Structure 1
Amino acid sequence: MSKISLVNLCIYFIVFISQVFTCPEKNGRFPIGNSCDKYLECVDGVGEEKQCPDGLRFNEKASLFTYPCQYPIDVDCGARSLLQPAKPSDDCPHQFGYFRMGTKPSECNQFLNCVDGRAYVFECPEGLAFNPETYHCDWPDVVEDCDAAGYLGFQCPADPKVEGLGFQEYRFYQKPGDCQRYFLCVNGNPRLYNCGDGNYFDSNLRTCTNETTTCV
């Protein structure tokens, strides 16, 4: 055997050995080093390295009957912080995940669901904002980086003692020019409510009613 072939064989052997993992148990899935999206899958004592799709994380607590690659909010990687480089598409920052749309703090309503790099656009119900921390639609004032007043188009009065009804921390205001909708100001932040078709907000009673005479 030539000297070059022997060297190549040694290199191949070293690389092959470096890719062999010892299974902690005969069957199961286990973290690999400091990686949050790679894992070792062992079947009958034979281990195979696998990697989650871009945007997902390996959940070592997932049962053997559950796909172990899950969304970041569902996975606690602990000290395992390494991730593969992002693989963005034309529409998505990662191949998988939920992402808020818009670049301004007042653009809080729409979000993307990215699946294999393909984006599906969704909107939160009226008055709610997408929360990237929970993947749920929530009150805009509890969503970080969402400007509730700018998003809803209403600024709560600076001195609630002068205007509005109710306790100082909770004040009601009819939406200007709209008899069906009203704002509840919670600690100075607006939340939009809708009385629904055929109902109107009564500023005196601070509730919805079907009496049109109460709407001004």
Structure 2
Amino acid sequence: MTTSAGITCLLACVAFVNAGILLEHAPECPEHYGVQAYAHPELCDQFFLCTNGTLTVETCENGLLFDGKGAVHNHCNYHWAVDCGHRKADCEYHVLGSYSSPGCEFQFGIYPDSEECSTSYVKCAFGIPEQEPCTPGLVYDHRTHGCNWPDLLQPFCNPEAVIGFKCPTKVPANTQSAKFWPFPRFPVPGDCHRLITCVEGQPRLITCEEGKVFDDQNLTCEDPELVPHCGHA
């Protein structure tokens, strides 16, 4: 946490930079060991970086802003995830020009790879787009810039088409699936790591936690030694 003395020091640094004075003559960092990053009091795309007492003014890459929590690149975060408050964030000069790559609005960003419901998305780093898959059973949600359950994106997405399963309207009371009502479970044929559960009549594909396998008899995820036919899956 920045001390009051540290804040005064960094504000003084702003004055030095704005006055065109060499940064090497600016006040010292609040802390002299380790790496600390501090928000610029005026600009959201810049920040102060102290590395073992050496102070530098850093600028976030195109499409990124500073919030003190970012881990996308050099302490910065995606612009849509940052609350700049009173700090200036003029995104117009961040927009890529003629050197932009197809699918990348900014050098750094996450974007849909299709106008339709999709199980993957495009992740841009340094202007290079890479297609990234969602976890099986999930689809890209432009509202969160991440992957989500397809039933939460209706009618844009059809959960039955994504999962390849239609939930029954009734489940016989004497079946194992009924024991999990109102979220009945069903096995995925030939899959030792996943199951299907129905939420309000729509299917969701669930993956067992790491180190577990799916037991298609009791419809739960178990230790591999308890499920012989999946023990080496």
The normalised TM-score by structure 1 is 0.56
Q: Secondary structure at the match of 2:160?
A: helix
Q: Taking structure 1 as reference, are residues 189 and 91 closer, same or farther at Cα in structure 2, changes over 3 Å only?
A: same
Residue number in structure 1 paired with 2:196: 183
The 5 A counterparts of 1:143-158 are 146-157=157-168
Q: Report the AA paired with residue 159 of structure 2.
A: A
Q: Secondary structure at the match of 2:161?
A: helix
Preserved CA contact (<8 Å) 1:101 1:110 = yes
Match of 2:11 among 25, 31, 38: 25
C-alpha distance in structure 2 between counterparts of 1:62 and 1:25, whole Å: 21
Secondary structure class of the residue paired with 1:84: helix
Which structure's relative contact order is higher, taking Cα pairs within 8 Å and 6+ residues apart? 1
Aligned to 2:125: 115
Task: Quote the RMSD (CA, aligned, Å).
Answer: 4.3
Q: Which runs of 5+ in 1 are unaligned?
A: 1-22, 42-48
Matches of 1:75 and 1:197 in 2, distance apart? 37
The answer as to whether partners of 1:160 and 1:168 remain within 8 angstroms in 2 is no
- Per-residue deviation, 1:91: 3.4
* Cα deviation, residue 71, structure 1: 1.4
Provide the rounded CA distance (Å) in 1 between the counterparts of 2:74 and 2:219.
Answer: 49
CA shift in 2, pair 1:72/1:187, >3 Å = farther
Matched letter for residue 66 of structure 2: F
Unpaired runs of 5+ residues, structure 2, are: 1-8, 15-39, 49-56, 222-226
Shift of 1:165: 2.0
Structure 2 CA distance for partners of 1:54 and 1:150, relative to 1, 3 Å? farther
Counterparts of 1:136 and 1:174, CA distance in 2: 27
Q: Is the contact made by 2:101 and 2:129 (CA closer than 8 Å) also made in structure 1? A: no
Displacement after TM superposition at 1:97 (Å): 1.2
Match 2:63 to one of 55, 60, 71: 55
Larger radius of gyration: 1
Letter in 2 for 1:207: T
Paired letter, 1:27 = C
Counterparts of 1:198 and 1:168, CA distance in 2 = 22
SS, match of residue 130 in structure 2: strand
- Of 76, 100, 105, the residue aligned with 2:83 is 76
CA 150–93 in structure 1, closer or farther in 2 if over 3 Å, else same: farther
- Once superposed, which parts of structure 1, at least 4 consecutive aligned residues long, lie more than 6 Å away? 195-199
Do the aligned partners of 2:103 and 2:111 also contact (CA within 8 Å) in 1?
Answer: no
Mark the CA change 1:147 to 1:93 in structure 2 (over 3 Å): closer, same or farther: farther
* Structure 2 residue 190 is the aligned partner of structure 1 residue 169: no
How many residues are paired up? 171
Write the distance in 1 (CA, Å) between the matches of 2:213 and 2:195: 15
CA shift at 1:128, angstroms? Answer: 3.2
> How far did 1:24 drift?
8.2
The verdict on how the C-alpha distance between 1:90 and 1:184 changes in structure 2, with shifts beyond 3 A counting, is: same
Letter in 1 for 2:184: R
TM-score (norm: length of structure 2): 0.53
